[in-house]
Chain A
Amino acid sequence: MADVSSEQENRVADSFEEILTMLPFIKEASQALREILLANLVMIGEIPSPTFEEDRRVEFIQNRFVEAGLHNASADEMGNALGILPGTTGEQNILVVARVDTVHPLSLDHTITLRPQSATGPGVGDNALGVAVVVTLPILLELLDLELQSNLVLMGASRSLGRGDLEGLRFFLSNTEIPISVGIGVEGFPLGQLSHDSIGMYRGEIVCTVPEEYDWTRFGATGAIVTINEVINQIQEIRLPRRPRSTIVLGSIMGGQAYNTIATNAVLRFEIRTESEQIGEEIFHQMEAIISDVSSQTGADISLDVFARRRPGGIHYRHPLARATRRIMSALDIQPRKSPSTSELSAFIGYDIPAITIGITYGERQNTPEEEIIIEPIFTGLAQLTGVLLAIDRGFCSEN
């Protein structure tokens, strides 16, 4: 077994050299697109695009696809922006996707500030940069005079986050007549991220409502916040196995109206993340039991709403796609960081399509209005993406 994989490794390495030697040239040449890429980044990022309200951003992307001369440049009924760059043979179809929605509301000032070394603003890295890279990709390939054999399907995916639950990408994959051979998810940051498998996930809300006619003389009559606190205490007591790795993320909590009014409502947002589908089910059932228990003790109305589920899966560490991507990263001095994903990758897994998610540059303060990305590493990120595309296109990432 060891011999076979070593033999395969060598065969790939030999055939791979040409791509690896092209990478520094690609990185250098992509600098010529600095203004075009940054202009796309700013114009995309300054269009607010909360989940379910991505229309204006999608329209912009669609116009860019039309200007780039992509085939079938359009938006589908789920609000995804799509375009196809036809390959010379069209034997494979590579889907490159970036989500277009953000966590930021329409009302937030979406101004992006551009400095020589960095760009700052809400959603600039997550995921305006990913989208900007996808819309700039046809120009990059033209600049590099690279003609792929495979068809390149470019997509700005809507309804990905929160309650969107990857609806846009799932819709496309379940309704398209184009057989997608490989998927690449593009995220603004971090550069070095390599996700090729997805952990299982349940995402939901626990909503606690105290009825208006509540009997305040009863036990626990301190309102919805104290009740939800009791739910949290009991969730914390759920025993989680060390293997398969599992965790419960309590992501956000809201409740109450004022200093001096007993809260009549409270909302807890959570995610269960686990490498095992079965463990996920068990934790979910335990949470249901906790809610039923606390509800009966306090008389409060508590509901559990799970609106997004992902099953664990993906490609193996040794899969040629994962291996080729790691080698491309190493050649560009990028430190690969395996990071299980709950994002676009999960949709590909649902359709048994080998896929990876990669980042383009470094950044910080993700999902805050002061989110920031560093400009210079973007060109390394572009070389990385182009290298992976070439590797897929030339057949170095296929198990067959």
Chain B
Amino acid sequence: MKIESWLKSNTFHHSAFWDLNALVEEKQKQDLKISLCIPTLNEEKTIGKEIVIFKSELMQRYPLLDEIAVIDSDSSDQTREVASAFGAQVFLSKDILKKYGEKRGKGENLWKAIYQLEGDILVYIDADIKNIHPRFVYGLVAPLIYRPEIHYVKAFYDRPLASSQGSRPSGGGRVTEILIRPLFSLFFPELTALIQPLSGEYAVRRQVLDKIPFPIGYGVETSHLIDVYHRWGLQAIAQTDLDRRVHRNQHTRDLGKMAFGILQTFLKRVEALGILSNLPELSTTLRQFQVNNNLFEEIPLKIIEEERPPMIEIPEYRKKFAHA
């Protein structure tokens, strides 16, 4: 599929789906169940607002969502208390599929949500969005409801307040532009059409989600895109412009950790797909530096990108979702 035609047919703006009555009607006609998963780690400041808005707008006013669940990584603040006070189902990640142990990372929560939640479609929304709005959910879910051939819808954010030129650069964050896009350009050129491949908001059909592995750390989004693209093709992926997303900014040092984790995942995927072979054993230590009293000091940081297998391989899952 050519990038140009994909951009025309599979790139949406949330405003195209403003008619929530029509969307809910179509969802009910297809007898679909939709679950919202919010993975959390110390998000007490923003979680209450997210739940109230989604519950009010997309459960009570327009019944688009069937369940809202917070999957928490043992937050030390009041995240779980706040979420539950506003009526969300709250789960501790480590309590789900206990037999398989506990791993630290957002990908772990996303993976366990596949088992815990009931929906035919799962929507993942990060908990740190300051300007939360119902469009973050309906903009991602709508292409799956209206277009059966689409399986995976990714968010992007591209609506500057003002632009003086007809054309302007459109892109993702720093890690996307200096790591992911160059890597995709080298190995998966069609995936470069995704404006923000690392965005943490996406909606996926269960039958796709349970068949792909889940890196538990920084690499989960990159890995998803490569796997969905490899198995179902670019036509199964879509992206929706959700205008603006206001969130915390990360320090460059943190972005370095992120890039390191993503790079590990990326190399594992290309090796697994046979695109690269005979890779040496890679170090899992990121080495960053700081200056202390004019002396340079190394700060080594262990970042191991572990991976969970496709959920369909877990017997408990197959039993719970017998149809799967």
Contacts and interface: CB of A to CB of B under 8 A. Distances in A.
A300 B275 CA distance: 79
Interface of A: 35-36, 38-40, 42-43, 46, 67, 109, 111-116
A149 to B, nearest CB: 28
Contacts of A114: 48-49, 52, 86
A116 B90 CA distance: 15
B60 A42 contact: no
A59 B161 CA distance: 18
Interface of B: 44-46, 48-49, 52-53, 55-57, 60-61, 78, 81-82, 85-87, 130-133, 246
A115 B53 contact: no
Contacts of B86: 35, 114, 116
Contacts of B55: 35, 39
Nearest to A42: B49
A109 B78 CA distance: 23
A340 to B, nearest CB: 36
A113 B45 contact: yes
A353 to B, nearest CB: 34
Contacts of B45: 113
A239 B196 CA distance: 67
A38 B56 contact: yes
A111 B81 CA distance: 21
A233 B81 CA distance: 54
Given A36-B61, A116-B85, 11 more contacts: A35-B56, A35-B60, A35-B86, A35-B87, A36-B56, A38-B56, A39-B56, A39-B57, A40-B56, A43-B53, A112-B49
Nearest to B46: A113
A116 B60 CA distance: 19
Contacts of B49: 42, 112-114
B49 to A, nearest CB: 4
B60 A36 contact: yes
Contact of A115 (B82, B130, B133, B246): B82
Nearest to B58: A39
20 contacts: A35-B52, A35-B56, A35-B60, A35-B87, A36-B56, A36-B60, A36-B61, A111-B130, A111-B246, A112-B49, A113-B45, A113-B46, A113-B49, A114-B48, A114-B52, A114-B86, A115-B44, A115-B78, A116-B48, A116-B81
A39 B61 CA distance: 11
A115 B48 contact: yes
**Residue among B56, B81, B130 with the highest chain A CB neighbour number at 10 A:** B56
Contacts of B60: 35-36
A307 B130 CA distance: 37
A292 B193 CA distance: 69
A114 B48 CA distance: 5
A369 to B, nearest CB: 14
B160 to A, nearest CB: 15
Contacts of A67: 61
Contacts of B48: 113-116
Nearest to B84: A116
A109 B244 CA distance: 14
A46 B131 contact: yes
**Residue among A36, A111, A114, A116 with the highest chain B CB neighbour number at 10 A:** A114
B82 A39 contact: no
Contacts of B246: 111
A114 B52 CA distance: 9
Contacts of A36: 56, 60-61
A39 B52 contact: yes
A67 B20 CA distance: 11
